[in-house]
């Protein structure tokens, strides 16, 4: 059996985080997550309320925040980190289930039920 590669591990983490994000608020709330996650989710909701922000920009911001939470916010301004964010978004958009999950998250951020 092959060991899990870093890419596979990242994909598993992202899939779990997107699944968590697509669950109803009460189901995903954990005491340890409420601080940092609440602040970036609030920021994403504010971004979602902006008429000039399209769904792709919102999906990218979501993935950026998930990755920053996992690997450290100090990486956000790094070019390579932004390239990883872009590649992850493209990969998820190309995957049917990933695209559906991200669409649910965006709908929830925009105030819909997902």
Contact 53, 47 (CB under 8 A): yes
Q: Which bin fits 54, alpha (ψ -120 to 50), beta or left (φ > 0)?
A: beta
- Is 20 within a domain? no
pTM for the full predicted model: 0.70
pLDDT tens by residue, 29-51: 454 455 566 788 888 889 999 98
How many CB atoms lie under 10 A from the CB of residue 95? 14
DSSP 52: T
- Domain hosting 39: range is 33-109
pLDDT tens by residue, 75-105: 999 999 999 999 999 988 988 888 888 888 8
CA dist list (Å): 62 to 33, 45, 70, 75, 107: 16, 10, 12, 15, 12
- Is 28 within a domain? no
Number of domains in the chain: 1
């Amino acid at each position: 059996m092959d060991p899990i590669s870093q890419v596979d591990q990242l994909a598993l983490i992202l899939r779990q985080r997107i699944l968590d994000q697509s669950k109803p608020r009460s189901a995903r709330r954990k005491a340890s997550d409420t601080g940092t996650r609440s602040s970036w989710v609030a920021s994403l909701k504010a971004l979602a309320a902006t008429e000039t922000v399209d769904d792709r920009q919102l999906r990218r911001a979501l993935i950026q925040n998930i990755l920053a939470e996992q690997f450290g916010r100090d990486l956000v301004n790094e070019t390579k980190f932004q390239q990883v964010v872009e590649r992850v978004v493209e990969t998820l958009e190309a995957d049917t289930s990933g695209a559906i999950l991200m669409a649910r998250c965006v709908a929830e951020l925009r105030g819909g039920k997902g």
